[in-house]
């Protein structure tokens, strides 16, 4: 192998060149796991220098190779070393070996495209079991030559992977050009994914790209059980990381025990929730009034003529060049224009004296939060005058106050379906998506619908601010007593919540929520109400009567595999269970007539039946 390398590698006096000639490099092998099967899928060969020296780690070796100008020689020797060790061990399974695009081109040219397969077989392994993992230490210098080298790799039966996609160096263009069999997702997007909804969405986007190209994905840097569970449920097929297995001198037969536990546990991960984000370009869906405009020098008489010509025009923008500088409100201007002697004194003067020189100007691609600023502004002229719409700073048209109110309201309603604005818990859409994932996975779970008894009288009596406190109390207790890795807490709206349990002790968790709510909610009532055990308030018919202090009711539905096909069916039955819970004296009711007290007796009876049957 050394005879094929450059003179700098064969005769260089640098520390790495000498190490290469002396055979001082060796490989360790890290497993890649099949996240669906829980088995070892392949190993990656990782180069190492002598233990306890500055040249032990790959990063140090690469840096010295650059300094000694033998980077391609070093990479080719690494591939040779990996194949030699793998063959010598007569190891089974696929082997991933790192190589840069330029080193691949150089290596194929050295060996010859037609001899590539024979060279791989000379190490005692089949070419189809070799995956060349292209890394981007530097940008590809010659894409046509890379395409030819890739043809040779595919022709001999070997496969290709793209390393560290998303690390800032790997590019979508290289993915498109190489058309790899595998793409490794950089550990940045994998680390702590169970707590980062933005990274979750990025992974889902990468999955979409992989489907377009027909590529299999490998998640790198898996270090925790929660991340492994999330990746498995995202249907990422393969993974690599310390949780699955650390690099070692010999290949492994199985993944680490902690990883095996996750992959054998069929419970569905509770994926991190991302609320509906601000919608850019919201104005593109609204009607923008193509209104005529005046210039700063336009006379008041000309402005009046424009208003007479366009009777539906609520305002007239003043535009200098293409940039809006002011806005004239129709009603205010015409009131001035109708006064005695206005035309004689001001008719020929410029219109700016009667214009709002600080109008609200909104870009066409603005998000909804900018529009909310108009509604909440202390200057209510913006609602009457409307706003000026620009595209890249150039005048485009006008928007009206009623359009603005409607757009903001619709957007806020849509956002609330994703995340409740009071509790920030997932709304209806994430609740339905999670239940559907559970149904499709064939996992047993319990869907609980929680609702407050006598909440409306409390809310009417003490006001919305204290009512919101009570709703936030339910949210806090529910999230505290649920297992974030197993159980899902969603806020349907108002005082309605959905709790979706995979925890086996779901009943005790619900009972804890109900009991703790009863203890803490009493503090939200004033002293006379606490002493009386409730408040006097109007019922739905306007009649004054006594209402006991607010309590929490939870209706539960046990969902067995195959019982339902759609999340809506579960939600509807959970709503029935909630109604049963509100009618019962107990705080938790399982649909079918069992309260929290009778559930214990039922469990004991079933246990006795199991013993007798045995």
Is the pLDDT at 372 greater than 90? The verdict is: no
Mean pLDDT calculated for residue range 434-462: 92
pLDDT tens by residue, 203-212: 888 988 898 8
Question: So what's the pLDDT on residue 602?
Answer: 40
Kindly indicate the confidence band of residue 586, based on its pLDDT and cuts at 50, 70 and 90.
Answer: low
Q: Please enumerate in sequence order all residues whose Cβ is within 8 A of that of 213, keeping only pairs 6 or more positions apart, or say none.
A: 175, 176, 179
Mean pLDDT of 124-141: 84
User: Using CA atoms, how far apart are residues 304 and 310, in angstroms rounded to an integer?
Assistant: 10
Beta partners for 98? Answer: 133
pLDDT band at 53 (very low <50, low <70, confident <90, very high): very high
Q: Are strands 394-399 and 39-48 parallel, antiparallel or unpaired?
A: unpaired
**For position 360, what pLDDT does the model report?**
85
Which of 73-82, 100-109, 523-532, 595-604 is predicted with the least confidence, judged by mean pLDDT?
A: 595-604
Which residue matches tokens 């498995």?
A: 232
Q: Residue written as tokens 């993992």?
A: 133
Calculate the CA dihedral of residues 208, 209, 211, 212 and round it to 10 degrees. Answer: 120
**How confident is the model over 116-137, as a mean pLDDT?**
90
Q: pLDDT for 289-313, tens place per residue? A: 889 999 999 999 999 999 999 998 9
* Residue 3 vs residue 67, higher pLDDT: 67
414 pLDDT higher than 90: no
Q: How far apart are CA 444 and CA 561, in angstroms?
A: 6
Cα 33–Cα 35–Cα 36 angle in degrees, nearest 5 = 130
Q: Is the pLDDT of residue 416 over 60?
A: no
Among the listed ranges 215-219, 247-251, 360-364, which one has the minimum average pLDDT value?
360-364
- For residue 395, give the nearest of 362, 351, 353 by alpha carbon: 362
- Count how many residues are written for the chain: 614
| Averaged pLDDT score across all residues of the chain | 86
Residue 588 has pLDDT above 50, yes or no: yes
Q: Pull the structure tokens for residue 319.
A: 């535009």
pLDDT value at residue 533: 93
348 CB burial (10 A radius; 0-12, 13-18, 19+): exposed
Cα Rg of the chain (Å, integer): 34
* 245 within 8 A of 31, measured Cβ to Cβ: yes
Residue 8 has pLDDT above 80, yes or no: yes
pLDDT at site 597: 44
Output the pLDDT for position 168: 57
pLDDT value at residue 257: 94
Tokens of 424: 């920030």
pLDDT higher than 70, residue 413 = no
Q: What pLDDT is recorded for position 94? A: 95
User: Cβ neighbours of residue 159 under 8 Å, at least 6 residues apart?
Assistant: 128, 130, 131, 132, 153, 180, 181, 182
Tokens 């009649």 found at: 543
Burial class (CB in 10 A: 0-12, 13-18, 19+), 397: middle
- How far apart CA 108 and CA 100 sit, in angstroms, is 12
Beta bridge mates, 326: 318
What was the pLDDT predicted at 200?
82
Residue-wise pLDDT for 150-201, tens only, equals 999 999 999 999 988 866 555 688 888 888 999 999 998 898 887 787 788 8
**Residue ranges in 496-547 assigned as alpha helix (H):** 506-521, 527-532
Q: Does the pLDDT value for residue 410 go beyond 80?
A: no
């Amino acid at each position: 192998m050394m005879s094929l390398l450059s003179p700098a590698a064969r005769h260089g006096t640098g520390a790495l060149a000498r190490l290469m000639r002396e055979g001082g490099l060796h490989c360790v092998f890290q497993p890649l796991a099949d996240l669906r099967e829980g088995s070892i899928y392949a190993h990656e060969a990782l180069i190492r220098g002598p233990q306890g020296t500055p040249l032990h780690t790959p990063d140090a070796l690469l840096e010295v190779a650059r300094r000694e100008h033998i980077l391609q020689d070093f990479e080719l020797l690494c591939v040779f070393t990996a194949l030699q060790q793998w063959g010598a061990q007569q190891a089974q399974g696929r082997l991933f070996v790192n190589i840069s695009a330029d080193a691949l081109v150089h290596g194929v040219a050295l060996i010859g495209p037609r001899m590539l397969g024979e060279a791989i077989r000379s190490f005692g392994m089949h070419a189809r079991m070799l995956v060349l993992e292209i890394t981007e230490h530097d940008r590809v210098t010659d894409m046509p030559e890379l395409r030819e080298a890739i043809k040779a790799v595919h022709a001999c039966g070997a496969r290709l992977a793209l390393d560290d996609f998303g690390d800032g160096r790997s590019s979508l263009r290289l993915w498109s050009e190489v058309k790899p069999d595998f793409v490794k997702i950089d550990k940045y997007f994998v680390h702590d994914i169970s707590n980062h909804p933005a990274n979750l969405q990025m992974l889902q986007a990468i999955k979409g790209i992989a489907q377009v190209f027909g590529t299999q994905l490998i998640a790198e840097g898996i270090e925790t059980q929660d991340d492994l569970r999330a990746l498995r449920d995202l249907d990422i097929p393969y993974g690599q990381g310390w949780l699955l297995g650390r690099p070692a001198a010999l290949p492994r037969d199985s993944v680490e025990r902690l990883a095996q536990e996750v992959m054998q546990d069929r419970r569905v991960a509770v994926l991190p929730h991302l609320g509906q984000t601000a919608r850019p370009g919201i104005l593109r869906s609204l009607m923008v009034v193509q209104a005529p405009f005046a210039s700063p020098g336009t006379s008041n008489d000309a402005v009046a003529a424009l208003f007479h010509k366009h009777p539906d025009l609520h305002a007239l923008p003043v535009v200098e060049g293409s940039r809006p500088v002011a806005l004239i409100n129709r009603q205010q201007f015409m009131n001035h224009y109708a006064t005695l002697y206005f035309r004689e004194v001001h008719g020929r003067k410029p219109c700016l004296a009667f214009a709002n020189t600080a109008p609200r100007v909104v870009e066409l691609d603005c998000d909804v939060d900018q529009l909310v600023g108009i509604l909440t502004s202390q200057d209510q002229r913006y609602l009457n005058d409307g706003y000026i719409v620009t595209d890249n700073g150039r005048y485009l048209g006008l928007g009206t106050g009623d359009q603005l109110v409607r757009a903001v309201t619709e957007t806020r309603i849509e956002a609330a379906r994703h995340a409740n604005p009071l509790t920030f818990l997932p709304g209806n859409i994430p609740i339905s998506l999670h239940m559907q994932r559970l149904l499709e996975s064939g996992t047993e779970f319990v869907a609980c619908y929680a609702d407050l008894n006598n909440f409306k009288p409390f809310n009417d009596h003490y006001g919305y601010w204290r009512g919101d406190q009570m709703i936030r109390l339910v949210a806090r207790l529910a999230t505290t007593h649920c297992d974030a890795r197993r159980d899902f807490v969603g806020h349907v709206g108002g005082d309605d919540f959905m709790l979706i349990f995979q925890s086996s002790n779901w009943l005790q968790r619900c009972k804890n929520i109900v009991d703790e709510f009863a203890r803490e909610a009493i503090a939200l009532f004033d002293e006379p109400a606490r002493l009386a055990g409730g408040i006097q308030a109007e019922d739905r018919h306007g009649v004054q009567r006594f209402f006991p202090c607010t309590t929490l009711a939870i209706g539960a539905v046990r969902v067995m595999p195959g019982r339902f096909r759609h999340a809506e069916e579960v939600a509807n039955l959970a709503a029935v269970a909630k109604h049963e819970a509100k009618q019962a004296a107990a705080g938790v009711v399982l649909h079918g007539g069992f309260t929290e007290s009778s559930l214990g007796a039922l469990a004991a009876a079933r246990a006795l039946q199991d013993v007798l049957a045995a």
